[in-house]
Amino acid sequence: MTALAVLTAAGSGVRLGCDGPKALAVVAGRTVLDRAAEGLAAAGVSALVVTAPESELERFRSVLPGHVPSRPEVPVVLVAGGASRQASVAAGLEAVPEAAELAGVELGEDTPVLVHDAARCLTPPEVVGRVVAAVEAGSVAVVPGIPVTDTLKEVERAGTSAPEGGSVLRVVGTPSRSRLRAVQTPQGFRWAVLLRAHEHGRALALQESTAATDDAALVEALGLPVDLVEGDRRSLKITTRSDLLLAEMLLGPDPD
């Protein structure tokens, strides 16, 4: 496999209830950041660009000192992230040529480039492999996804208030569950397409409220096809305290 990755890790730890960035939260003895970087390297990714909160670059460097700790041959370029995930990815893309050069990889228009959330630090290597293989086989953009177990409703504001406070929403549709997938990362793209999609959607990145929550949506906005491969339930996104506990349970008892 020849693939490069942008690992997004510039988010805060507010919803997780931790003081610092979520990527520095510890899951069963190791940081989310370390686990996510090691996971991509173990799957065969050649080099990583990691987005960090600007004020945390030094702490991130102590976890990833220019390369993936157990794999000195996998270089890591750290960059400061932006105000939204989309802005962070855009900042990361600027450093992909440097990461490719450090790894001795020739970066061509069709080279597979992944975008992965550090928060999904338990993603099995097979998922990374499936995504890269699909790009290599000709897909323009690929997302891993899993069937949804909840019934999902589309809602609108109903204009009334609940007696106990909060708002009442009006259900306007029930999409068929068989046609829905919950999508995960890493998402994989041909390098030239990922660049073009971010360039096209640049104006949206300025605010969290308008920014794209995944990169595939930016490719869809270009009118290009996005393909879906099988994801994995272990690829959960650690967002809240209960996700962290579930991740620790999935990792099993600490051998120490």
**Which residue number, 58 or 254, has a Cβ lying nearer to ligand C5P?**
58
**Which residue number, 170 or 217, has a Cβ lying nearer to ligand C5P?**
217
- Residues of span 118-147 touching ligand C5P by CB under 6 A: 118-119
Residue 78 sits in the site that holds ligand C5P (CB under 6 A): no
Q: Which of 38, 68, 237, 247 binds ligand C5P (CB under 6 A)?
A: 237
Q: If we measure between CA atoms, which residue out of 132, 169, 135, 144 comes closest to residue 154?
A: 169
Q: Which residue has the tokens 């962070």?
A: 88
Phi, psi of 71 (to 5 degrees): -135, 85
- Eight-class DSSP state of 19: S
- Element holding 251 (H helix, E strand): helix 241-251
Considering only 75-83, 125-133, 137-145, 198-206, which stretch makes contact with ligand C5P by CB under 6 A? 75-83
**Which residue number, 36 or 103, has a Cβ lying nearer to ligand C5P?**
36
Collapsed DSSP state (helix, strand, coil) of residue 169: strand
Tokens of 228: 């879906």
Residue 235 sits in the site that holds ligand C5P (CB under 6 A): no
CB of 44 to ligand C5P, least distance (A): 21
Binding marks (x or -) toward ligand C5P, 28..57, rule CB under 6 A? -----------------------x------
Considering only 62-70, 84-92, 152-160, 221-229, which stretch makes contact with ligand C5P by CB under 6 A? 84-92
Phi, psi of 250 (to 5 degrees): -65, -30
Which residue number places its CB atom closest to ligand C5P?
A: 11
Q: How far apart (Å, rounded) are the C-alpha atoms in residues 20 and 12?
A: 7
Q: Which residue has the tokens 């953009």?
A: 141
